[in-house]
Amino acid sequence: MICRIARRLHRFGVARGGNVAILVAFGSALLLAASAVGIDLGLVFQARRKAQGAADIAAMMGAIDPTQADAMARRSLGDNGYGGAVATVDTGSYDASVSGVAPASRFQPGASPVNAVRVGLSTVVPITFGRAIGLAGSVPLRVTGTAASAQFAAFSIGSGILQFSNGIANALLGGLLGAQLSLSASDYNALLGARVDGLRVLDALATNLNLQAASYTDIVQANASVGQMLMALRVAAQGNAAAVNALSGILNALPNAGGTVPIGQVDPLGDAAALAPPRGFGGPSVDLMNILGATAALANGQNQVAVDLGATIPGLLSTRLTVAIGERRRSSGWVRPGGPNATVQTAQTRLLIEATASAPLGLGTLSLPIYAEVAPAQATLQALSCVGGARQAAISAQTGLATLAVAAVSRSAITGGTTSPSLSQPAPLIALPLVNVTGRALATIGSATQTLVFNDAAITNHTVQTVSSGDLTQSLTGSLLRNLSLNINGIGVSPLLQTSLGATFTAIAPSLDLVLDTALRSLGLHLGYADVDVDGVLCSQAVLVQ
């Protein structure tokens, strides 16, 4: 009996016929358990995505108006099915421009300025199949969303209205770009009447520079050639055929790609850089000519530009311009009151007009040098409000101190540096073998400050408001020439010559005014004035930053 049992146990131990069935049974059980857990995990991941979306939306709703953040965020959570969930709403400051700080640490609860909201959402997800293998009946979830306020204004200063006359604008802009321009008055009118979205210009530059995956912050830190800037402007101006044709004319006139310019100085992000706005975010409506002028000036750097206008100016035998421009910055990008970029300036500009005209009393040729120096004007965004959908911006604007002179100034002294040329020596006006007439005059236009308030209509219509120094005359050069201190051979002049020269100066003053005013306006400057235009206001918007 014992032997029989032992033989049967031995046969059972060496049998292989039932192994497959046993393995299939155990494997099927494991596969069913894994499938069940996979279904539960899928439900958990789906629930996390839904909760994350709800937290993000709540953060953006709260960031629209941080003073109402708690109520707005909780209302949004309730609308998305999380009214009974545990939630936290914190306000604080967010700055994406801080280097060396992880993105998750850029939000500082309770810090100033209050421009961001973080919403934390805690919830649980019930599971079904996992219980069968001993897992908990629910999985806790915790998600956070952070959004920053995008309530900004953008403005420009120094956008004087260009007066196209006798090729002055072509000669000066062409000199800055290193091109022979032949734009017509209608071309300039098209450029002056065109506005482009500043961020769409950056989008086009990203494509030209092969930076498609870059953020706006990355784009403004790059450099672009003049040609690339012009092509980006042309893309952004699509829909305005006249402006596109004018830009194409400039592009075709460029002998090469042109010099490089720092993009951020031409088309800045302003304070919005700290929010790291996503691609496709709305930008300010910028005057196209502002960007074009800034590109030309920056490409030229602080180099001297000499323009010989010959006898093209009525009333003058010849005219030559020598211009130097300091570092240029005119448009703000999106900025907020009190922000680091809330103040913008025009460029310091030095200009020498060397004109000749027929001298009175048969004395040959009268040479007349007119020197002008315009210090930077500046504007600061002081206040911004968006109450009931009505926008209002207050901007403090200050004109730049301007100096006009008739003096012996050499062309080499016209530079974009910090040192002004000496104006102490009289200029030779008439030089004959026996007659040497010299003269010197100096006039200063003082600075003035005024707060300009732009209401909703002014913002919508891009109305330009102006601050004037208050001590301007109808003819700047005429006023200067009337105060000339004249000498003939080192002594005073006779009444006859004084009267005759006075009549000559009066006759040529309008021509000199034309050259001076057109040249400065071609550079976006208006002597004795600060012209300010609000490019746009962002109200009730927020950007998801984490």
Residue ranges per domain, the chain?
22-96+105-141, 153-538
Per-residue confidence (pLDDT) for residue 503, from 0 to 100: 93
**SS3 label, residue 500:** helix
At a CB cut-off of 8 Å and minimum separation 6, what does 77 contact? 54, 55, 58, 83, 85, 87, 119, 121
Per-residue confidence (pLDDT) for residue 475, from 0 to 100: 82
Per-residue confidence (pLDDT) for residue 30, from 0 to 100: 56
Show the CA angle centred on residue 234, arms to residues 229 and 239, nearest 5°. 155
- d(CA 513, CA 515) in angstroms, rounded, equals 6
Per-residue confidence (pLDDT) for residue 135, from 0 to 100: 62
Token pair in block for residue 465: 């408001």
Q: Is the peptide bond before 66 cis (omega within 30 degrees of 0)?
A: no
Token pair in block for residue 243: 């402006």
Q: How many of the other CB atoms lie within 10 Å of CB of 420?
A: 16
Taking the mean position of all CA atoms in its chain, how far away is CA 100?
A: 25
Per-residue confidence (pLDDT) for residue 437, from 0 to 100: 92
Per-residue confidence (pLDDT) for residue 1, from 0 to 100: 61
| pTM, to two decimals | 0.77
- d(CA 440, CA 461) in angstroms, rounded, equals 45
Q: What is the pLDDT tens value at each position of the chain, 546 positions in all?
A: 666 666 665 665 665 555 555 555 555 555 555 556 666 677 778 888 898 999 999 998 998 888 889 999 999 999 998 888 889 999 998 877 666 777 778 888 988 878 889 999 998 888 766 665 656 667 788 999 998 877 789 999 986 555 556 578 888 889 999 999 999 888 988 998 899 999 999 999 999 999 877 889 899 999 999 999 999 999 999 999 999 999 999 999 999 988 899 999 999 998 888 777 777 788 899 999 889 988 998 888 878 899 999 999 999 999 999 999 887 777 899 998 888 889 999 888 999 999 999 999 888 999 999 999 999 999 999 998 887 678 999 999 999 899 999 999 999 999 887 788 999 999 999 988 878 899 999 999 888 999 999 999 999 999 999 998 876 777 888 889 988 999 888 787 788 888 899 999 999 999 999 999 888 888 888 888 899 999 999 886 777 877
Per-residue confidence (pLDDT) for residue 213, from 0 to 100: 75
Per-residue confidence (pLDDT) for residue 27, from 0 to 100: 55
- d(CA 26, CA 402) in angstroms, rounded, equals 93
Token pair in block for residue 408: 């012996």
Positive or negative CA dihedral for 356, 360, 363, 364?
positive
Q: Name the DSSP class of 269.
A: -
Positive or negative CA dihedral for 160, 161, 166, 172?
positive
Could you write out the three-class secondary structure of 61-100?
HHHHCHHHHHHHHHHHHHHCCCCCCEEEEEEEEECCCCCC
